[in-house]
Amino acid sequence: MKFKSPTTAKQIASDYNCELIGDEHTLVLGLNEIHNVEEGDITFVDHEKYYKSTLQSNASVILINQRMSAPEGKTLLYCEQPYEVYDNLAKQHRPTLLSAEQIASDALIGDGTFIAPSAFIGKSVTIGKNCVIHPAAVIYPYTEIGDNVIIHANTTIGADAFYYKRTVDGYKKMHNAGNVVIKNNVEIGAGCTIDAGVSSETTIGEGTKIDDQVHIGHDVKIGANCIIAGQVGIAGNTVIGNYVTLYGKVAVNKNITISDNVVVYACASVAKSLEAGKTYLGTPAEEARVAAKQFALIKKLPDMWELFKKLNH
């Protein structure tokens, strides 16, 4: 998530009582988790296990709970609770927006777009031209929708990410500073749920078509012209390429990549990244030719077992 106006490491250190290590003039353009961090961003780390990967990331400024020398090109902000500072920064720069209006007065809606009377459009939403938003659809704040998009009844776009930090007192919810971006010519079926990114965008690429009752988790990036059938579930921070087909009830793990032109058959469970241009099936999903051989052998196991017992008598 990018800030409306840049700030400096020095200013953040002053606002949140952090000890600054490095260049106090480092510009901070936005914030992001380690998965999506870019140059100019601030991120956080509060566990030794992740120090190395965070210090080697693209982040320009890092909130950290251990004093150390700043690597070249990095500015560190030492504090006891980096997560708390990061979360408060997110609240400061992307506050929660609540609206009692059916269509928020600051929503920008393009020419030719139809919004059904019972649909809800939150604050700071942008909807392009010639879209159709069907009854009882809910569009949360900060969502960006392109032209010629169809969103069917009872679909929810931009709900909070299912993202919590475990503490000694239970689970603490991370403030959502991300949103959902839907490109041109997308159609989303009835009863779908697409969560906002935690600190970046959940993106649906141009021309992608999504069936009914699909769930897409936080920070997922879906490419162009994909087909996603009913009851598919995609966990957070996964990247899906262009022209990918996911048949019904496919379950997709978090933090993986499904490359371009992949086909995954119904009811498969995708546990790891998939190579481009291949077809997959099964649980866990394997390349179709491999999985088919495995299934054929499994069917023969009872006969093979009986033969084995005879040979050993």
Tell me the C-alpha distance between 101 and 42, whole Å.
34
**Mean local confidence (pLDDT), 129-152:** 98
Q: Is the pLDDT of residue 112 over 80?
A: yes
What does the pLDDT look like over 237-248, one tens digit per residue?
999 999 999 999
Instruction: Give the pLDDT score at 292.
Output: 78
228 Cβ contact list (under 8 Å, min separation 6): 208, 209, 210, 211, 214, 222, 245, 246
Instruction: Give the pLDDT score at 133.
Output: 98
What does pTM read for this prediction?
0.91
At residue 3 the predicted structure's pLDDT band, cuts being 50, 70 and 90, is very high
Q: Is the pLDDT of residue 194 over 80?
A: yes
At residue 77 the predicted structure's pLDDT band, cuts being 50, 70 and 90, is very high
Q: Is 218 a catalytic residue?
A: yes
Tell me the C-alpha distance between 299 and 24, whole Å.
66
What does the pLDDT look like over 266-298, one tens digit per residue?
999 999 999 999 999 999 999 988 877 787 778
CB atoms inside a 10 Å sphere around CB 4:
7
Instruction: Give the pLDDT score at 166.
Output: 86
Q: Say which of 134, 152, 175, 218 is annotated catalytic.
A: 218
Distances, alpha carbon 287 to alpha carbons 76, 81, 234, 244, 248, in Å? 45, 45, 19, 15, 17
Task: Tell me the domains of the chain and their CATH numbers.
Answer: 2-93 (3.40.1390.10), 108-288 (2.160.10.10)
Percent of the chain with pLDDT over 90: 88
At residue 312 the predicted structure's pLDDT band, cuts being 50, 70 and 90, is confident
Tell me the C-alpha distance between 255 and 87, whole Å.
22
More confident residue, 171 or 302: 171
**Mean local confidence (pLDDT), 96-110:** 96
The mean predicted confidence, pLDDT, of the chain is 95
Instruction: Give the pLDDT score at 310.
Output: 80
Instruction: Give the pLDDT score at 156.
Output: 98
What does the pLDDT look like over 19-76, one tens digit per residue?
999 999 999 999 999 888 999 999 999 999 999 999 999 999 999 999 999 999 999 9
Distances, alpha carbon 192 to alpha carbons 211, 213, 233, 247, in Å? 8, 5, 10, 15
Can you give the three-state secondary structure of the chain, one letter per residue? CEEEEEEEHHHHHHHCCCEEECCCCCEEEEECCCCCCCCCEEEEECCHHHHHHHHCCCCCEEEECCCCCCCCCCEEEECCCHHHHHHHHHHHHCCCCCCCCCECCCCEECCCCEECCCCEECCCCEECCCCEECCCCEECCCCEECCCCEECCCCEEEECCCCEEEECCEEEECCCCCEEEECCCCEECCCCEEECCCCCEEEECCCCEECCCCEECCCCEECCCCEECCCCEECCCCEECCCCEECCCCEECCCCEECCCCEECCCCEECCCECCCCEEECCCCEEHHHHHHHHHHHHHHHHHHHHHHHHCC
Residue holding tokens 């010629």? 148
CB atoms inside a 10 Å sphere around CB 300:
10
**Mean local confidence (pLDDT), 140-169:** 95
Cα 291 → chain centroid: 29
Q: Is the pLDDT of residue 299 over 90?
A: no
**Mean local confidence (pLDDT), 141-167:** 96
At residue 225 the predicted structure's pLDDT band, cuts being 50, 70 and 90, is very high
